[in-house]
Structure 1
Amino acid sequence: MTAAPLIVLVGPMGVGKSTVGRLLAERLGVGYRDTDEDIVTGQGRTIADIFVDEGEAAFRALEKQTVHRALAEHDGVLALGGGAILDADTRALLAGRRVVYLSMDVEEAVKRTGLNAARPLLAVNPRRQWRELMEARRHLYEQVATAVVATDGRTPEEVTQAALDALELKEV
């Protein structure tokens, strides 16, 4: 392994991983990378399109490959897609790393995501589906996390500071 991310962010869609990740990178003086953005750039299409055209299994295989490459290459702040932790090999690779689980409750998720059609896993009855996704994933997020930071009712700057405090990291 040539590099290792300084911080890996995990959590559900819409929790603010991209926003907080960029703020953390800026405050720590390191680069920022988002595996969902890597997939979109590499495939030349949206994640929703990949889901529709090829199905979730094909997307998850692509996601696993992308996440493993990013974990090996990137030395700054890395944000993973909401479902990346479903893969056991990915969870194993996260062991021993600084992983921050950004959490939020369902009402906050409704406000933030707008629970729109661009979120392929939330297309029908979004509120119930989000709850079910979180019931299936919460323990996995907690399993890989070094720190858990609640985002409810906090600004991105407050979440960023809470993550730095939880990891006992000093900004540049």
Structure 2
Amino acid sequence: MSGAEGPLLVLVGPPASGKTTVGRAVAAALGVDFRDTDRDVELETGSSVPDLFVEHGEAHFRDLERRAVARGLAEHDGVLALGGGAVTAPETRALLVAHGSRGGVVVWLDVDLPSAARRVGLSRDRPLLAVNPRAMLRSMLEQRAPLYAEVSTHTVATSDRSTDDVVADVLALVSGATR
């Protein structure tokens, strides 16, 4: 496989869109490694994402996230899943657009509000959704949709669809890309 440097596939999307679940399944199907930038931040700091938000604030976490995404895009050659808010950083968007323009596949896993709310529930692992999760999720989906659209080379809807169907769609996109 030649062409695009960096990850074979980058997944972006809001919380509960299926980035980790789909990413792990796609990576397994392709026989490549899966990497999650939120997990990278946790490994680097020894703290969970929710704890980082509480103890150091969102700005501190976003700085760590920007660096984790840049490292992942530079070092990883498998499937890379980004945290839902990673696209809010202009530097990250520029890196993702550049990756796509070099032939990289950046898939926006899109989810509607009812599906996302059902999947998230009252999760304490999602710090920005701690207070009034449905309203915060609606706001996130609306504010970030243009950012996901800006950085993605493809969009796959995940609402009310089985993981297997979403994985099949993503695999078709990856296999159709020239690398």
For 1:15, give the aligned amino acid.
S
Unaligned 5+ runs, structure 2: none
Matches within 5 A, 1:86-125: 86-95=88-97, 96=101, 97-125=104-132
Q: TM-score, normalised by structure 2?
A: 0.90
Matches within 5 A, 1:78-157: 78-95=80-97, 96=101, 97-157=104-164
Answer yes or no: is 1:66 the counterpart of 2:68.
yes
Q: Secondary structure at the match of 1:141?
A: helix
For 1:129, give the aligned amino acid.
M
Q: Secondary structure at the match of 2:80?
A: strand
Q: Counterpart in 1 of 2:45?
A: 43
Contact 2:107/2:153, CA 8 A, preserved across alignment:
yes
Contact 2:109/2:157, CA 8 A, preserved across alignment:
yes
Contact 2:42/2:49, CA 8 A, preserved across alignment:
yes
* C-alpha RMSD of matched pairs (Å): 1.6
Identity of aligned residues (%): 50
- Residue correspondences, number: 169
- In the TM superposition, residue 116 of structure 1 has moved relative to its aligned partner by 2.2
Q: Which moved more, 1:67-76 or 1:94-103?
A: 94-103
Q: Secondary structure at the match of 1:109?
A: helix
- In the TM superposition, residue 167 of structure 1 has moved relative to its aligned partner by 4.1
1:21 to 16, 20, 23: 23
- In the TM superposition, residue 104 of structure 1 has moved relative to its aligned partner by 0.7
Q: TM-score, normalised by structure 1?
A: 0.93
- In the TM superposition, residue 168 of structure 1 has moved relative to its aligned partner by 4.3
Separation in 2, partners of 1:109, 1:133: 11
